[in-house]
Amino acid sequence: MVDGNTSREQLLETLRSVDTQTLITMALIVLIAYVLGRVITILLLKLSEKLSHTGRIKVELVIPIIKFVIYLIAFYFIFREIFKIFGPEIFLLAGLLGAAIGFGLKDLFSDIVGGLVITFEKPYQIGDKISIGNYFGEVTDIGLRATKLFTPDANVVTAPNSLIFKETVASANYGVSEMMVVIDLYIAGESHVETAMRILWEAVVSSKYVYISKEKPVILLHKALPFYTRLRAKAYVNDLRDQFKFESDVHTRAWVEFQKKGIMAPQLHILNIPSIEEKYESDATTRRNLGANVRGLKDSK
């Protein structure tokens, strides 16, 4: 039976015997896999932008799968090289790697596992608009370690894949190009609600961005609150990238008609703010009390 010290010495001796050519070969495999994955991703993304909404989503769906297939093939060739070097001692090396992962590379390992889960379980896909943690935006890339989001403020956020194990993910469209948009308008409580609802309805259904079908109807709701009334429209856009254009279009045209019909925005209700005279008297009292306190302190000295 071989003891642990002997095995470690054999492993170290084997590591010393690894030639430079083998290391270069493994580095080249990693480099080729990375470059090939990037080139295919860029080409497919450019192709998807030339297709229809549905075609774009379908092309973007296959990008993460292709990338992970490339990485798996690269891992196979690297593992084959490692097995040639270590032979049966590969299990001892695996133990050392496990310890390394446990102590120093656990976050990286967690991100890679998260990438595999995202690719095959699909909690979200490239092209989806998602909220994860404190981030919101369109998914533009799913890599081995991180997911890239394009936010409404034109920022590119790189979120680690391991976030799916810690945070709730909400996808606004989940693999399709249509997406529901919720639009809220607030009007004064004394406004004529039926007229306002009719104007909002016409603004929504006549927008060039709206998508209406039997399964995706337009829904209007209103809710009376103490100082104002909230009008809410729920409707779909044909392309999720039109979300903000649709909102802006409906807001603009609805408020133009509101003003023509005398429907106003809620006014600011000022409560419990004293008049100027009351405020002056209050300040004078405060000053008098402060002066008395100061005199009291001087007398006590």
Q: Does 27 share its domain with 79?
A: yes
- Plot region of 227 (φ>0 → left; ψ -120 to 50 → alpha; else → beta): alpha
Same domain, 209 and 235: yes
- Reported as a single tens digit per residue, the pLDDT across 246-266 is 999 999 999 999 999 999 998
Residues 157 and 191 in one domain: no
Using CA atoms of 203, 205, 208, 213 in order, give the dihedral in degrees to the nearest 10: 160
For residue range 74-95, list pLDDT tens digits in order.
888 887 877 777 666 666 666 6
Answer yes or no: do 163 and 188 share one domain.
no
Domain finish residue from 134, 153, 171: 171
Evaluate whether residue 215 is within a structural domain. Answer: yes
Contacts of 120 (CB under 8 A, 6+ apart): none
Mention every residue, 6+ apart, whose C-beta is less than 8 A from residue 42. none
36/286: higher pLDDT: 36
Instruction: Give the CATH number of the domain where residue 230 resides.
Output: 3.30.70.600
Domain boundary among 65, 86, 107: 86
- How does DSSP classify residue 22? H
Residue 57 lies in a domain: yes
Q: Verify that 246 and 209 share a domain, yes or no.
A: yes
User: Which one is predicted more confidently, 208 or 19?
Assistant: 208
User: What is the H or E stretch that residue 140 is in?
Assistant: strand 135-142
Q: Could you tell me which residues come within 8 angstroms of residue 17 by beta carbon, excluding any fewer than 6 positions away?
A: 85
Contacts of 1 (CB under 8 A, 6+ apart): none
Domain assignment present for residue 27? The answer is: yes
Residue 146 lies in a domain: yes
Q: Given this model, what pLDDT does residue 294 score?
A: 45
Name the residue with higher pLDDT: 205 or 106: 205
- Residue 74, domain extent: 8-86
255 and 205 fall within a common domain: yes
pLDDT at 209: 94
User: What are 146-199's pLDDT values in tens digits?
Assistant: 898 999 888 899 999 888 888 888 888 887 878 999 999 999 988 999 999 999
Say whether both 72 and 144 belong to one domain: no
247 and 183 assigned to the same domain: yes
For 259, how many CA atoms within 13 A lie in the half-sphere containing its CB?
5
Q: Are residues 48 and 28 in the same domain?
A: yes
> Can you tell me the mean pLDDT for 9-37?
78
Q: How confident is the model at residue 290 (pLDDT cuts 50, 70, 90)?
A: very low
Mean pLDDT (the chain) is 80
pLDDT number for residue 57: 73
Beta strand 146-150 with 135-142 is antiparallel
- Judge whether 97 lies within some domain: no
pTM, two decimals, is 0.63
Answer yes or no: is 96 within a domain: no
- Give whole-number Cα distances, 200 to 7, 187, 197, 223, in Å: 77, 12, 5, 14
Counting the structural domains of the chain, the total is 3
Burial of 21 (0-12, 13-18, 19+ CB in 10 A): exposed
Which of the four pLDDT bands, split at 50, 70 and 90, describes residue 127? confident
For residue 135, name the pLDDT band (cuts at 50, 70, 90): confident
Q: Tens of pLDDT along 203-212?
A: 999 999 999 9
Q: Which CATH number do you get for residue 133? A: 2.30.30.60
Answer yes or no: is 140 within a domain: yes
pLDDT at 52: 74
pLDDT value of residue 6 = 62
What does DSSP assign to residue 275?
A: P
Residue 204 in any domain: the answer is yes
Q: Please answer whether residues 220 and 254 qualify as being in contact, where contact means their C-beta atoms are separated by less than 8 angstroms.
A: no
262-289 pLDDT per residue, tens: 999 988 654 455 554 455 455 544 445 4
